[in-house]
Amino acid sequence: MENRIKGFLSGHKGSLFALVMFLFFLLVIIFAKDIRLLVVNTTVDARFWPRIIGIGGCALSILLFVQSLLEERKRDGGVDVKEEEMDPDDKTRSIKTLLLMFLYILGLEYLGFVIMTLLYLFLQILVLTERDKWNYKKFLVIDLVFTFAVFVIFRYGFKMMLPTGDFVNMLGRLV
């Protein structure tokens, strides 16, 4: 019985992962409705982006599910589909990316959007780029331009305040 379960799980990894991700993004959409609004006169509010991310994630999960079903059908039909092993470097990058995202979320409250986005994006670019292709000046320019553009779009385009952070607020009081 245990071998049957292991066999089923190993043969349907992609489908199961897609299903789990679909449920996760569905929960994001459901919980987005419970986000408390401070300003209700705007089209783009605090519920907007979680819903967009949830809908996009659900759509991508459905695509992944269909793709994995097609691969499973090819494999079951006698066509040999090679199961690729994840490169150890990719595993390390994935773990570093998850850690950086976790730290970004934690740091938003203390350092604010601008500082945390500058730090996160620069470090994320380093994680995703091979070490022999690192170009600090280029990465810093990309980092600064992207962070400034997102800040301007949200602050002046959508008229949404981004988190300033306790550290920045404390500095503002000192100055």
Distance CA 91, CA 153 (A): 34
Say if residue 160's pLDDT is above 70: yes
Arithmetic mean of pLDDT, 5-14: 63
Confidence at residue 8, expressed as pLDDT on a 0 to 100 scale: 53
Arithmetic mean of pLDDT, 132-161: 89
Report phi then psi at 161, rounded to 5. Answer: -80, 135
Arithmetic mean of pLDDT, 35-49: 70
Say if residue 120's pLDDT is above 90: yes
What confidence tens digit (pLDDT) does each residue in 65-109 have?
888 888 877 776 655 545 555 566 777 888 888 899 888 888 888
Q: Cβ neighbours of residue 65 under 8 Å, at least 6 residues apart?
A: 14, 15, 18, 19, 22
Reduced to 3 states (helix: H, G, I; strand: E, B; else coil), residue 157 is helix
Confidence at residue 149, expressed as pLDDT on a 0 to 100 scale: 93
**Higher-confidence residue: 85 or 121?**
121
Closest-CA residue to 111 (of 37, 46, 163): 163
pLDDT, the chain, mean: 81
Give the highest mean pLDDT range of 38-47, 75-84, 115-124: 115-124
The domain spans of the chain are: 1-84, 86-175
**Higher-confidence residue: 168 or 111?**
111
Q: pLDDT category, 125, cuts 50, 70, 90? A: very high
